[in-house]
Amino acid sequence: MKEAEVLARAFAMPLTNPAYPIGPYRFFNREYLVITYRTDLEKLRALVPEPLLVEEPLVKYEFIRMPDSTGFGDYTESGQVIPVSFNGRKGNYTHCMFLNDHPPIAGGRELWGFPKKLAEPKLHAQIDTLIGELYFGPLRIAVGTMGYKHKQADLAAVKTSLEAPNFLLKIIPHVDGTPRICEIVEYYLTDIELKGAWTGPGQLTLISHALAPLAELPVLEVVSATHILADLTLGLGKVVHDYLGAAK
C-alpha cells in the first residue's frame, strides 16, 4: 500500500477495517432519564478542568437508551454530566460515561474525547416506574428511579437544554506515554426532534467502585428527574482550548 493510499484511507483504527464509520451520526428514539442532584461543591471543582468553571454544586446523572443509531447500532450508556460555563457561555461537561458497545466507545474517545469505558447500563419501564441501572462487571453501582410520566415537562426548556454547548477533555497519548493531544472540545446536538419530555419524583443511589468512582460526587439532594424522547444528530466537535499550545 502506497503512502498516498494510506493517507487517503486513514480515518480510524484499524486502517483496513475501522472500528466505526464516518459520520454524521443520527439517533432515533433516543431516550433519557436525567436525574439532577446537588453534590459537594469543592469536590466538583476539584474534578472539572480549567478553563471550564463550575458555578453551582449540581450534577446531571444520565441513563440514555439508544435503540437505533447510524453506524453505532443499538446500545445504552450512563454517566455524570456537570453544568459549567466557558467564556461566559453555559453548557455541560461530560465527566464520565459507561456503555456497552465498542464502536461508540472507540469513536467517542478518538473523535470527540468522550470519557467512555465499557460497562452494562440499562434503562427500562417497570409498570409505573422508569428504572436506570449501571453494572460494572457483576456489581450494580448506580440505580436511578422515576415515577413514569407523571407530568409533561416544559418542552421549550428541554429543547433549549439539549441545544446547549457540550464540553469534553480530549486526551490522546504519544508513543512515549506523554500527552500528544490535550484539549477542550466543544460539540452540539443538532436537528433535534423532541418527541416528548416528562417529569416526576426521582431518586438516585451511587455505590463506590475503584474503577468507576461515581460516588466521589455524592448525592446530597435530588433536585429533579426528567424523561426525554428525541431524534437528534451528534455533531462533530471543534477545539476551543489547547493545553499543549498554551504551554508553548
3-state SS string for 8-69? HHCCCCCCCCCCCCCCCEEEEEEEEEEEEEECCHHHHHHHCCCCCECCCCEEEEEEEEEEEE
Q: What share of the chain is helix, strand, coil (3-state, %, to 5)?
A: 15, 55, 30
* Residues 144-153, mean pLDDT to the nearest whole number: 98
Q: By C-alpha distance, which of 137, 141, 96 is closest to 115?
A: 96
Confidence of residue 241 (pLDDT cuts 50, 70, 90): very high
Say if residue 15's pLDDT is above 80: yes
Say if residue 28's pLDDT is above 70: yes
Say if residue 184's pLDDT is above 90: yes
Q: Rounded CA gap, 153 and 42, in Å?
A: 31
pLDDT tens-digit series, residues 45-87: 999 999 999 999 999 999 999 999 999 999 999 999 999 999 9
Active-site option among 2, 116, 149, 195: 116
Is the peptide bond preceding residue 24 cis, with omega within 30 degrees of 0? yes
First to last CA, the chain: 36
Cell numbers that stand for 245 in this block: 499550545
Confidence of residue 214 (pLDDT cuts 50, 70, 90): very high
Q: Rounded CA gap, 8 and 23, in Å?
A: 17
**What is the Cα 147 distance to its own chain's centre?**
23
Q: Is 159 one of the catalytic residues?
A: no
| Three-class DSSP category at 137 | coil
Query: Long-range contacts of range 218-223, CB-CB < 8 Å, 24 or more positions apart?
Result: 218/39, 218/40, 218/43, 219/37, 219/38, 219/39, 220/37, 220/38, 220/39, 220/40, 220/57, 221/37, 221/38, 222/35, 222/36, 222/37, 222/38, 223/36, 223/37, 223/38, 223/58
pLDDT tens-digit series, residues 76-89: 999 999 999 999 99
Spans of all domains in the chain: 22-247
Residues in the chain: 248
Say if residue 93's pLDDT is above 70: yes
- Homologous superfamily in CATH for domain 22-247: Acetoacetate decarboxylase-like (2.40.400.10)
Confidence of residue 246 (pLDDT cuts 50, 70, 90): low
Confidence of residue 248 (pLDDT cuts 50, 70, 90): very low
Neighbour count for residue 174 (Cβ, 10 Å): 9
Mean pLDDT, all residues of the chain: 96
Supply the pLDDT for residue 112: 97
Residue type at position 173: P
Do residues 209 and 139 make contact, with C-beta atoms less than 8 angstroms apart?
A: yes
